[in-house]
Amino acid sequence: MLRWGMILLFLPCVVLVTLYMMEAQDVARCLDAGGSWDYVLGLCDQQAKHELVSFMTRHGFWVNTGMLISIVGLIMGTWGMILKGMSTPKDRD
């Protein structure tokens, strides 16, 4: 339970940050080329200017689901530590 709890705690965060950074890299390339990033379509537009639409607004379901999975992982990890104990017993000679 502890192992699965830690996986569920960290994996959604890693996936969401990876997706966010990939998009941020595309936005930076577009701005460097003199364009404006269309956040809704995910395309670089050289003619029109577009306003910022946050990642949470565009991908609310995935962000909320990822955070819910992380909370479940936190609870599982905490419960696993309680059952296992914080440290392993030392060898007795």
Q: Tens digits of per-residue pLDDT, 72-85?
A: 999 999 998 888 87
d(CA 70, CA 22): 21
Q: Where are the domains of the chain?
A: 2-84
Helix, strand and coil percent figures for the chain, each rounded to 5: 65, 5, 30
Residue 85 DSSP SS3: coil
- pLDDT tens digits, one per residue of 16-71: 999 999 999 999 999 999 999 999 999 999 999 999 999 999 999 999 999 999 99
pTM of the model: 0.77
